[in-house]
Amino acid sequence: LLQGVRIPTLSFFDAVPTRIQVGDEAVTIQRPMFRLTRNLALVHNLMDDNDYLPSNKELEPLKYAKVAAAAHVSRRKVESCIQGTTSLLSYCLGKGKNVALILKDIG
């Protein structure tokens, strides 16, 4: 069972099963999904697609302590970096700037 991850105030990450046609055969693939949190999308009047997650899908909160240990930094530093990223993303969206959020080693 695949479980998505929720980063409070920023986004959701998940892999959603999607059926595609390959020649004569239907194949199910895991399609990666990234989604801004509803509050961030609403503040910037971004379109919302409600069909991206099955209704019974659970999103696991990001484990800040685990990220901190893997990165050899404090939990506070991880939380600060995520808050800073969220603030910068929100600022850029508010100014109508194009934004590329690169997620290294995801998926």
Residue 107 inside a domain? The answer is: no
In a domain, 90, yes or no: yes
pLDDT at 73: 94
In a domain, residue 54? The reply is no
Q: What's the chain's average pLDDT? A: 80
Q: Does residue 101 lie in a domain region?
A: no
Residue 74: Cβ within 10 Å count: 13
What would the mean pLDDT of 88-97 be, rounded to a whole number? Answer: 87
Strands (E), the chain: 4-7, 11-22, 25-36, 59-61
58-91: pLDDT as tens digits: 677 888 899 899 989 999 999 998 889 888 888 9
Q: Return the higher-pLDDT residue of 73 and 9.
A: 73
Which residues form the domain of 25? Answer: 5-49+60-95
Give the number of domains in the chain: 1
Position 15 in a domain: yes
How far is 77 from 10, CA to CA, in rounded Å?
A: 16
Instruction: Record the pTM.
Output: 0.62
* 100 lies in some domain: no
User: Which band of pLDDT confidence, cut at 50, 70 and 90, is reported for residue 49?
Assistant: low
